[in-house]
Structure formats: C-alpha cells, structure tokens
A and B are shown apart, each in its own frame.
Chain A
Amino acid sequence: MTGTDFRLEADMAQEPIELILFRQLSSSLAIPVFLVDANGDLAYLNEAAEQLLGVRLDEIDEMPFAEWTTAFTARNEGGHGTDVDSLPLVRAIRDRRPAHGPLTITGGDGVERRIEITAFPLEGGRGRFIGAVAMFWETAADA
C-alpha cells in the first residue's frame, strides 16, 4: 500500500484555485470573512470571523447552507427574525450580485452582536460561480 492510495481514499476534493487564493487572503485579514463554496456551504472562516461568530472552524468541521443560514438567529433592525432569503450572503449566492445590510446575530458563544454585512459572489477565471464571501463589521455589542 502506498501513500497515494491512502491519500486518495482519505481526501476531500481540491477546491478551485480562486477559492484557495481567497482563503489565503482572508487568513491574513483583520476583517471577519465568511467564505462559502459553490453549493453555499461554509468553506472557511478566518480567525476574526471565528471571534465575531463565537465559533471555531476546527470544532464545527462542516456547516452546510441550511445550517449556517439559521445558526445565528439573525434579526433585522426592528428585532424581528429575518427570513433566510434576505440575508446578504444568501442574496449574493442566489442573485450573483453584491448585497449589504445590517443584522443582529447571536453568536455560538451566546453573545448578541449588531453587525453589518457586505457579501459578494466570486466568479472564477472561467466565468463560473465558485462561491461567495461575506465580510462583517461589528457596529455595537450589547452586553
């Protein structure tokens, strides 16, 4: 048995190069970045996003679209629950256009935070949709 056989069995498929490069960029940014793949599933969170969302990438392992869209109990400015389709990142994925908006969320650590989100789709070099990005700005934290 060679290392090769083992690798092929154990491995996940490689992500597209544009997503690999964006993840690398995100890893050195102080701005919280939430990166999803073409299916809308979480592909990567940088450290700043881990802190803001109160979750650790290592611990969640994977977070499909259906899960992250409801995980943080997003509420609008009036304090009402928002429907999934109005979340900026969901709009970026569905409409393939940039989207921005304010939200209040409750992190995995139970802390409530008011944030603004800018989300945009990633179109690869071959013109294909390969994922989307959300960047977060914390506007105020409620104790």
Chain B
Amino acid sequence: MKVTFWGTRGSLASAGPETVRYGGNTACVQVTGSDGTCIVLDAGTGIRRLGAALSRDLTRVDILLTHLHMDHIQGLGFFDPLFRPGLEVHIWGPPSATQDLRTRLSRYLSPPLFPIRLRDADSDVHFHNAPDVPVSIGGLEVCGAEIVHPGPTVGYRVRDGAATFAYLSDHEPALTGDLDRRDGTRWTSGADIAAGVDLLVHDVQYSPDERAERIGWGHSSSLEAAAFARLVGARRLAAFHHDPGHDDAAVDRIVAETAAAVPEIGVFGAREGETVHL
C-alpha cells in the first residue's frame, strides 16, 4: 500500500513562498493498494493535481470524505475524472440524520457557489454513507468511525494485507478527556480505528499555546496528537492539517515538538507530493 499526500494544509489553501515545503493545498491523500485499487481521502484543493495525474485506464475511483467542511470538498468540482464518461466514481461521506450526502454536497456544487451542478458530471457517480464496519473496495479493506470534530465527521482505517493506515484529518480527542491516561481507550474518540496502525495521519494543527485559545474548534496540538498516537499504539505519525497561518519553519517547530513528546514513534510532517510505502 502506498500513501501519497496531495494536500496537507488545513482550513484554507495557503499557497506562497513561505509554505512551499509542506505545501499549500488542502486535505487530499491518495491510497494505492498493492493490486492497484485507488482510493482518495478527502477532496480538498489538492485533489485537482491528483485528478490530472490519475491513469486513464482506471475504471473506478472511490473518494472518502471525512466531513463536508470546505477545506475537504473544495476541490471536488475540479477533479477532472468526475467528467470522464464511463468512469465509476464512488463518493463516501459521514451520514446525516436529515439529508443524504448528494443533497448536502449539492449545496456547494451548485449556483451561486459553483457554476456546475453535481448532476452534470459525466462520470457514473454513486453516493454512500461512510461504512462503520469493514468493507472491501477492490483489494483494500476500509472502515470508518465517527470522531470528535464539529458536525458529523468520520476517520478512516485502511488495510492492505498486513499493512494498516488510519486517517483522522480533523480531530480533537482531547475534548473528551485526558489522553495521557493509561487505563485504556474506552472513552477516547478514534481509538478503535487508529489502534496499532503502521501509519497514523492525524490533525496536528496547533502549538500548545495556540491550542489553549481554540478549545472546541475541532483540532489538536502537537502534544495532544502525540499523546493520542501513543495511546493507540501507532507506529508512525504524520502531522497533518497544517494551520494556514504557519509557514514552513513554524510547521517544522510543531513537528519537532510532536516528535520530542513520543520518541518511540516515527513522527514526520506530511508534505505535499510525498509518498509513504507501507
């Protein structure tokens, strides 16, 4: 399984010379299974370049949305494969008690916010609720779970043979309790889907100081993400959802803070364009 970062920024795209190393595009991560299965996690602005790079031979692509905040769906209308006749596009997202996924996405993908309607896509588009039990997508096994973030939000766990990967792009587990407790994870958001993964991609938006001012905004600090990774027993942690106000040097500092807190875990800052092999 291969994990490629196409967008690692949170909240708002932030292109510029000061973000060139970690990248300015918002959340989009591609997972390629050993059998060639392609799934895309989130449709932030990074999905535009991914769409241009996708093989024309592909017959199906699955887009798994964690939630419908703009930084996770803004690129959808610019995902060129959406307009490829014959391609099957499956869009998965968090369930809502009131409106289906297509209706909720159409609020953005329609005038006056967007010139083209979702129903005008030429590909064969299907909508699904994020699975809360493991399902097979090609050769990959995918499972979702609701996690703590404002509005219905899911995290995903992906398995390819023995390799496991979890993606919790926007997550504030500290809101529901102390992450340093050693008496288990019964009351920890996201604990089941992230348990023991080879790679955890997790929200590390803030330094501890910034975090103190933003309780309830749905994101984590370096130290909280580190504590969560330790609690669930992740082997590697990719710091993700970089704050749009942080330049590369600031992200470097936050990643270093995270790494220092959990020396036993391989911590790195997710960089646009980087591929990790699991």
Which residues does A use to contact B, with CB under 8 Å? Answer: 2-5, 7-8, 10-18, 20-21, 23-24, 124-127
Shortest Cβ distance from residue B122 to the other chain A in the assembled complex, whole angstroms:
32
Query: Which one of B32-40, B44-52, B99-107, B187-195 is at the A interface?
Result: B187-195
Shortest Cβ distance from residue B151 to the other chain A in the assembled complex, whole angstroms:
10
* Inter-subunit contact A127/B97 (CB<8 Å): yes
Q: What residues of chain A lie closer than 8 Å to B146, measured between beta carbons?
A: 16-18, 124-125
Q: Give Cα A17–Cα B172 distance, bound, in whole angstroms.
A: 12
* Inter-subunit contact A7/B188 (CB<8 Å): no
Instruction: Show 26 residue pairs from A and B whose CB-CB distance is below 8 angstroms, ordered by the A residue.
Output: A3-B230, A3-B264, A4-B233, A5-B233, A7-B184, A7-B185, A7-B196, A7-B231, A7-B232, A11-B184, A11-B186, A13-B186, A14-B188, A15-B187, A16-B146, A17-B145, A17-B189, A20-B148, A20-B187, A20-B188, A21-B148, A21-B176, A23-B176, A125-B96, A125-B146, A126-B95
User: How many residues of B are counted as interface, with CB atoms below 8 angstroms from the partner's CB atoms?
Assistant: 30
Within 8 A of A (CB), among B198-253: 230-233, 235
* Inter-subunit contact B230/A14 (CB<8 Å): no
Partner pick for A15 among B95, B97, B186, CB 8 A cutoff = B186
1/0 per residue, CB under 8 A from A, across B142-177: the answer is: 000111100010000000000000000000000111
Shortest Cβ distance from residue A81 to the other chain B in the assembled complex, whole angstroms:
34
Shortest Cβ distance from residue A63 to the other chain B in the assembled complex, whole angstroms:
15
Q: What residues of chain A lie closer than 8 Å to B129, measured between beta carbons?
A: 126
* Inter-subunit contact B176/A11 (CB<8 Å): no
Q: Give Cα A24–Cα B174 distance, bound, in whole angstroms.
A: 11
B132 located at the interface, meaning its Cβ lies under 8 Å from any Cβ of chain A in the complex? yes
Q: Give Cα A16–Cα B146 distance, bound, in whole angstroms.
A: 8
* Inter-subunit contact A8/B186 (CB<8 Å): no
Q: What residues of chain B lie closer than 8 Å to A21, measured between beta carbons?
A: 148, 176
Most A C-beta atoms less than 10 A away, residue of B186, B196, B230: B186
Within 8 A of A (CB), among B89-116: 94-97
* Inter-subunit contact B175/A4 (CB<8 Å): no
Q: Give Cα A11–Cα B188 distance, bound, in whole angstroms.
A: 12
Whether A14 contacts B196 in the complex (CB less than 8 A), given A23-B176, A125-B96, A127-B97, comes out as no
* Inter-subunit contact A14/B96 (CB<8 Å): no
Q: What residues of chain A lie closer than 8 Å to B96, measured between beta carbons?
A: 125
Whether A125 contacts B176 in the complex (CB less than 8 A), given A7-B185, A7-B233, A14-B186, comes out as no
Q: Give Cα A12–Cα B191 distance, bound, in whole angstroms.
A: 11
